[in-house]
Amino acid sequence: MDFSRITVLCVGDVMLDRFVYGDMERISPEAPVPVLLLNRRTEMPGGAGNVASNVISLGGRAILIGLVGEDDAAVTLRDTLRIRAQVSEMLVATTRRPTICKTRFIAAHQQVVRADEESRLPLQTEEAELLCQAIDARLEEANVVILSDYGKGVCDSMVVRHLIGEARLRDIPVFVDPKTPDFRHYRGATCITPNAKELAAAAGMAVSDNASVEQAARRVMARAEADAILATRSEKGMMLVPSGGEAIAVPARAREVFDVSGAGDTVIATMALAVGSGMAFDQAMRVANAAAGVVVAKLGTATADIGEVIRELQAQDGPEEAPHLLTTVQAKRQIADWKAHGLTVGFTNGCFDIIHPGHVSLLAAARGACDRLIVALNDDASVRRLKGETRPVNMLASRAAVMAAIRSVDAVVAFSEDTPLEIIRELMPDVLVKGSDYRPEDVVGAAEVIAGGGKLVLADLRAGHSTTATIGRIQGA
């Protein structure tokens, strides 16, 4: 899957997405609102700008056309685009409105409030003419066009008619992310990609199941004279309804969702690139579904790179059930993802040959000390060296399957050495957990974790349980 030769012309409402992070330590004495101690902020292109970012993240090239004010936010937005080498911007400056800026204040991984800066002024004739001139200047370079309508003014009737008309004259497919419920506004588009709420509003009917989604899609598709409707349905996946064929639905793969911000941008960017590269609509939809699955597992306005999408496609083609035992490389990747979302990662280890209430109690205590817990199991040879030739009772695959099913455990790995020191060094958890029967100075890996900024937790053990005693009772019986 190579999109490096595909150029996407992205036209629409461009904005600056600003994320301001802080700690929420107290309630203001002036009003019942939290006080944030700000410590970090990030800025990135939003709206149609995020579509362009998705295009280049997936390996394509983007030309971005939109409207900005003559203000500091426009300078910042242009700076964020300048570092994206594969994006060429044709932003039209206007004195009639500010650059659209959305500022999200975040504390404890939660959005506290969002502040928007924008104008409700309709698009002015001279602004529309300048946008059409920019489209004419760059349309010949494009393999495919995306119209990203956020309802902020750029996608008025003059610009939309001009863009779709000129693109179709050149046989360039046009993908539309809609905002207005009247899809006749996008007449002649190749594919329109509403979410379930937008589709229901446009069709004037509920869309609760596959049959109603298809019925609604065909109703609005006829009005728009479009070739296809791709309905995105959050946890229910997607449905593609082509004008001359049967509807095709694909489910979303079960996953931990951190943030759905920008998922629609990812879908339309992926669809456009895939169709532009020659894929059929149904094949492109499956790639877009995988890309959406990647970005909802990230925090903030995110993008997916082509490697992540390929891995997600491979996972979708495999069994629905996640593997019980991760390789070290997979575990490192998972831990990096967790840490990127601000989550603390805990680690504990052992043979866990026959799981008993003492183990469950330890694992629950370990999980209580962190946001995500990874358990490292001694492999069979390691258990045999430590416990004798009659052990383990349960082989590694069985022990991993049982361990992965325990509620407190988020991931399972294995190690072949007599101690977990090497795998601790590889994974570098934030929290190392052992039973309270250990002294801190005797815990393998504690010094390394603490030196890396982590901590050691000695969890209380539930008395009266041991694997050796359980085996003894079985032999006695």
* Ramachandran area for residue 303 (φ above 0: left; ψ -120 to 50: alpha; else beta): beta
Q: Report the helix count and the strand count for the chain, using DSSP H and E.
A: 16, 20
Burial class (CB in 10 A: 0-12, 13-18, 19+), 364: middle
Q: Does 197 show up as a binding residue in the annotation?
A: yes
Cα dihedral across residues 172, 173, 177, 182: positive or negative: positive
Q: Which amino acid is at 74?
A: A
Q: What are phi and psi of 339, to 5 degrees?
A: -65, -35
Alpha carbon distance 98, 117 (integer Å): 7
Among 245, 250, 254, CA closest to 267: 250
DSSP string covering 393-455: SS-HHHHHHHHHTSTT-SEEEEE-SSSSHHHHHHH--SEEEEETTS-GGGSTTHHHHHHTT-E
Q: Check if the beta carbon of residue 96 is closer than 8 Å to that of residue 71.
A: no
Q: Does 196 show up as a binding residue in the annotation?
A: yes
Alpha carbon distance 100, 130 (integer Å): 18
- CB within 8 A of 238, min separation 6: which ones? 230, 231, 232, 249, 250, 252, 267, 285, 288, 289, 292
Q: What are phi and psi of 166, to 5 degrees?
A: -70, -35
Q: Does 349 show up as a binding residue in the annotation?
A: no
Q: Does 43 show up as a binding residue in the annotation?
A: no
For 264, the token pair is 């629609």
Whether omega before 392 lies within 30 degrees of 0, making that bond cis, reads: yes
Strands 14-27 and 228-232: unpaired
Compute CA 75 distance to the chain's CA centroid, rounded to the nearest angstrom: 28
Alpha carbon distance 222, 328 (integer Å): 52
DSSP code for 322: P
Selecting among 13, 265, 410, 430, the annotated active-site residue is 265
Asked about 460 being catalytic, the answer comes back as no
Alpha carbon distance 17, 100 (integer Å): 9
CA 412 to each of CA 339, 374, 376, 419: distance values in angstroms, whole numbers, following the listed order: 17, 6, 6, 16
Alpha carbon distance 50, 132 (integer Å): 21
Annotated binding site for ATP: 195-198
Active site residues: 265
